[in-house]
Amino acid sequence: MTATLETGPIGARLAADLATAALGLARRFAAGATLWVISPEWAPHAHHVAVEFVHPVIVGKRALPAVALTDADPVARARLAVRPGDVVLAVAAAADPRVRDVMRRAPAWGAGTIWIGFGDRPAPGSADHVLWLADPDEMTPATGRFVLLYHLLWELTHVCFEHPALLAPEPDCADDVCITCSDEGRLGEVVEPESEPFGGALVRTATGEERVDVTVVGPVGSGDLILVHAGAALTRLEAQP
């Protein structure tokens, strides 16, 4: 294996990222997840990834639920399709505004995220797992090296299935009240704005839909992203440029 990403097909950093992403994906699949794949600019990649996971090409490997979402509006389609515990995988450049929007909303839907791409990396925290080639060449998505990323993700996910002890979910807080979690702002996406004063807005979070007091942030519209704490919206996230 090469020492750096730039000098070989799979460098040390990318290898570690692949291993971590595969383990997280395997755990999600083991818990009943569906993988939703988007690639607004390169629909064949979305189909290819989905087929890799659905089709058990190697004898003895399980078929895993994966669907390519190739609608013109991936945000609207993913919003309808994704359920808590699922995973959204994007194949796109970091500058793709549609993918950036899906990635930032996914936590409110309760979904994990994986982003595969090339050139400039997305900003830190843009996805749970980033599998990236530094090559800025616009032809990179047409190369075997690029396709190799999701082939390896598929293979390593199945390697994790061969070791069932790895598939146990990470333990939740054991205490009745976790100081860290209880003080945490959760991402929410507004489903229905407030229809009457102090009636609260209907908001979707990773744990489901709930009514949230939006007095602090003022009027909200459907699709707005807010941070929720103790039943109230603390702040509104600005739309991305």
SS (H, E, C) 141-165: HHCHHHHHHHHHHHHHHHHHHCCHH
Tell me the backbone φ, ψ of residue 7, rounded to 5 degrees: -100, 5
Please tell me the predicted confidence (pLDDT) of residue 198.
Answer: 82
Q: Do 26 and 110 share a domain, yes or no?
A: yes
Q: Do 162 and 183 share a domain, yes or no?
A: no
Q: Do 186 and 163 share a domain, yes or no?
A: no
Sheet order of strands, 232-236 included: 208-212, 201-205, 186-192, 225-229, 232-236
* Ordered mean pLDDT values, 10 residues apiece, the chain (241 residues): 45 93 97 97 96 83 94 95 98 96 98 96 96 90 90 94 86 52 81 89 95 93 95 89 64
Q: Do 57 and 131 share a domain, yes or no?
A: yes
* Tokens matching residue 68: 């390519």
Look up the CATH number of the domain holding residue 51: 3.40.50.10490
Q: What are the residues facing 66 on neighbouring strands?
A: 35
**Structural domains in the chain (count):** 2
Q: Which long-range contacts (CB under 8 A, 24 or more apart) does 7-12 make?
A: 9/145, 9/148, 10/148, 10/152
Please tell me the predicted confidence (pLDDT) of residue 197.
Answer: 82
Q: Do 119 and 227 share a domain, yes or no?
A: no
Please tell me the predicted confidence (pLDDT) of residue 1.
Answer: 32
Q: Do 109 and 212 share a domain, yes or no?
A: no
Angle between helices 43-54 and 144-161 (to 10 degrees): 30
Please tell me the predicted confidence (pLDDT) of residue 58.
Answer: 73
With contact defined as beta carbons under 8 Å apart, do 232 and 218 qualify?
Answer: no
Q: Do 142 and 204 share a domain, yes or no?
A: no
Please tell me the predicted confidence (pLDDT) of residue 179.
Answer: 44
Domain interval for residue 103: 12-167
Q: Do 103 and 191 share a domain, yes or no?
A: no
Look up the CATH number of the domain holding residue 192: 2.40.50.140
Alpha-carbon gap, residue 239 to 114, rounded angstroms: 21
